[in-house]
């Protein structure tokens, strides 16, 4: 997966409008640049990278929504959602197939036939999703969207209510995302409720993306918090994947019982047990990460870091140093 690009060229102490336009444009360009990579089926990470870039873009749009005219970007946002959904359909099947093919290596021999049939069915679904993605990612269509989006963002920010400086907007957004995440932390005490845990995963992701987006204003002072939330997001993401699998296998077992297919019943019972165990493991990991977050008062540390943005000159120097280190 491609790492997020650092948003450069923003003076965090100036009015927010220009910074918002710059941030959104760069997030769109980041997604657009991954089009060809996403259509190379040999490496599933290409689709994953573009999907994550589309999520970062949509997260940024959500962050800036209170400071923009929503009507101006509604048409472009609808198209961006279509792209994200198409990428998600392919990625979900890629992840499923990777997991199933790994399981096939360790599964008892008696389950191999049913498991292989299940894999082949998934491949057919993925092939269909890939064809739909190709239609969505037509080069000319994406290029037109890029133009439309750039124009819409200018109009949306010019017509919006006056805002404070970019750094003040950034600070308010990160605080809100932190509050959203912490509000959902009680989900750990309802471990059998997949909906709440899934919402907490999304909240962790949105906090992470916001920190990464606004790193230009604080640099290394807030970067560690993005890494911490990324680990929490990953653990909760695996829990969510297991919940999807468990529900899928429950349905398969019920259908197999109606058909009185003992071989399929045994196979899907084995898979059901496997993913229940995996879910328990990653839920424990996520809970440990969260209790560490609280014990270390990451909340207070992040809010303290947000009080001291770096100067525009330091931000420019940091970006120049990063460019030189890549040469």
Tell me the pLDDT tens digit for each residue of 185-234: 999 999 999 999 999 999 999 999 999 999 999 999 999 999 999 999 99
Residue 238 has pLDDT above 80, yes or no: yes
Domain annotation covers residue 324: no
Q: Please tell me whether residues 301 and 174 are part of one structural domain.
A: yes
- Please enumerate, as own/partner, the contacts of 62-66 that have beta carbons within 8 Å and a separation of 24 or more: 62/206, 63/173, 63/177, 63/206, 63/210, 63/213, 64/20, 64/23, 64/24, 64/169, 64/173
For the chain, the domain total comes to 2
Domain annotation covers residue 184: yes
Q: Please tell me whether residues 123 and 3 are part of one structural domain.
A: yes
Q: What is the CATH number of the domain that holds 221?
A: 1.40.20.10
Q: Please tell me whether residues 211 and 192 are part of one structural domain.
A: yes
Whether residue 269 contacts residue 252, with contact meaning beta carbons closer than 8 Å, is answered with no
Rounded Cα distance between 56 and 245, Å, is 26
Q: Give SS3 for 43.
A: coil
Q: Please tell me whether residues 13 and 95 are part of one structural domain.
A: yes
Q: Please tell me whether residues 150 and 275 are part of one structural domain.
A: no
Q: Please tell me whether residues 130 and 191 are part of one structural domain.
A: no
Residue 59 belongs to what domain range? 1-163
pLDDT digits (tens, 9 = 90+) for 72-100: 999 999 999 999 999 999 999 999 999 99
Domain end marker among 144, 163, 182: 163
Q: Please tell me whether residues 72 and 203 are part of one structural domain.
A: no
Q: Which of 141-145, 156-160, 239-243 has the lowest mean pLDDT?
A: 156-160
Chain center to CA of 262? 39
Q: Please tell me whether residues 201 and 235 are part of one structural domain.
A: yes
Chain center to CA of 276? 24
Q: Please tell me whether residues 127 and 260 are part of one structural domain.
A: no
Q: Please tell me whether residues 131 and 263 are part of one structural domain.
A: no
pLDDT digits (tens, 9 = 90+) for 264-279: 999 999 999 999 999 9
Domain annotation covers residue 325: no
More confident: 119 or 316:
119
Token reading at 155: 């109009």
Q: Please tell me whether residues 195 and 261 are part of one structural domain.
A: yes
Q: Please tell me whether residues 154 and 179 are part of one structural domain.
A: no
């Amino acid at each position: 997966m491609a790492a997020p690009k650092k948003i450069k060229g923003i003076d965090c102490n100036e009015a927010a409008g220009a910074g918002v336009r710059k941030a959104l444009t760069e997030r769109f360009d980041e997604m657009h640049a991954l089009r060809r990579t996403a259509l190379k089926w040999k490496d599933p990470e290409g689709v994953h990278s573009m999907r994550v870039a589309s999520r970062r873009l949509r997260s940024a749009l959500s962050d800036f929504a209170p400071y923009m005219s929503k009507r101006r970007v509604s048409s472009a946002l609808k198209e961006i959602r279509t792209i994200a959904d198409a990428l998600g359909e392919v990625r979900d099947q890629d992840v499923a197939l990777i997991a199933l093919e790994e399981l096939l290596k360790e599964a008892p021999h008696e389950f191999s036939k049913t498991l292989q049939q299940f894999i082949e069915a998934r491949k057919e679904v993925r092939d269909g999703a890939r064809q739909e993605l190709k239609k969505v990612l037509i080069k000319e269509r994406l290029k037109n969207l890029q133009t439309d989006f750039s124009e819409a963002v200018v109009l949306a920010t010019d017509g919006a209510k006056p805002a404070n400086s970019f750094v003040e907007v950034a600070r308010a957004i990160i605080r809100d995302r932190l509050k959203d995440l912490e509000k959902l932390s009680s989900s750990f005490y309802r471990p059998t409720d997949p909906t709440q845990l899934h919402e907490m995963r999304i909240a962790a992701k949105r906090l992470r993306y916001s920190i990464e987006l606004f790193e230009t204003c604080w640099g290394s002072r807030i970067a560690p918090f993005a890494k911490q939330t990324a680990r929490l997001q990953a653990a909760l993401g695996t829990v969510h994947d297991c919940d999807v699998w468990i529900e899928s296998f429950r349905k398969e077992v019920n259908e197999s019982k109606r058909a009185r297919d003992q071989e399929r019943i045994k196979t899907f019972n084995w898979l059901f047990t496997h993913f229940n165990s995996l879910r328990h493991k990653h839920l424990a990991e996520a809970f440990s990460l969260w209790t560490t977050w609280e014990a270390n008062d990451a909340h207070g540390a992040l809010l303290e870091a947000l009080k001291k943005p770096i100067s525009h000159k330091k931000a420019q120097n940091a970006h120049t140093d990063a460019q030189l280190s890549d040469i």
